[in-house]
Amino acid sequence: MLIRNIFCALLAFLHSGCSSKSKDDSHIIASIPEASGIDYCKNSGTLIIANDEGSFYEIKLDGAILKTHKLGDYDLEGVVCEEDRFIFAVENGDILVVDRHSFAIEYLKLRGIEHLNKKTGIEGIVKIEDGYLLAVQTKNYKKDAIFLVVKLDDNYATVTRTIHHGIIDSAGMDYNEGILYIVSDTSDKLYLYHLKDAKIIKEIILPPFDQEGIALDDHGNIFFTDDKGSVMSYTLKELGL
């Protein structure tokens, strides 16, 4: 009987201790199918979440859903919230510029780089001083881990330069005071990357979940989206920031 109890306890320990993608449900504020990109809207104090099925959701900081809208058959991977418009990044590299009031869509093709495929698709977007950054997915080779700096005009999203950052599977990012906050699903880490100096200045191990997007608000909170369908909230202090 003693041996059997020890064996059962060992099985229970292995089952609970070896799960690579369990998460702390106490931090979940909303459930959104296939949540991907997320951004904080400063003028409304809300969050915008894009999903892989072509829809976006606007929610309060406590997770209450205010609105949802289907844009179309797009694999949305990232979003930037601006005063009068949303900028969505599609996995194939194209950009959707969406009016915040009418939801009218302007479709911009990506140019200045070879065609992206499923193994090198776009995984995130963020606004910086001189344009926008698109994160290119790479799961195996640091040399392929790059950002595309793009400018938007009436017809195209044009790549003006590339930045090699060396972070595998940069799934989502946000930008604040010269620092990129980048999540990697492969390593379950949050990287702080100094954009001007082009170097990683800090690495933080995250609770294990399927990281897809990240956003910081103006109140000391940081939000993550989980590909399994969750939006999570932490304070910067909780993560040692």
Domain map (residue ranges) of the chain: 32-235
**Tokens 């459930």 — which residue?**
31
Token pair, residue 96, equals: 């959707």
Q: How confident is the model at residue 117 (pLDDT cuts 50, 70, 90)?
A: low
pLDDT above 70 covers a percentage of the chain that reads 84
Please calculate the CA angle 32-34-35 and round it to the nearest 5 degrees: 60
Q: Given a cut of 90, is residue 90 above it in pLDDT?
A: yes
The whole-model pTM stands at 0.85
By three-state DSSP, how is residue 227 classified?
Answer: coil
Residue 118 has pLDDT above 60, yes or no: no
Determine which of 3-17, 20-34, 78-92, 173-187 has the lowest per-residue pLDDT on average. 3-17
Question: Homologous superfamily of 32-235 in CATH?
Answer: YVTN repeat-like/Quinoprotein amine dehydrogenase (2.130.10.10)
Q: Which residues of 143-177 are buried (b: 16+ CB within 10 A; e: fewer)?
A: eebbbbbbeeeeebbbbeeeeebbbbbbbbbbbee
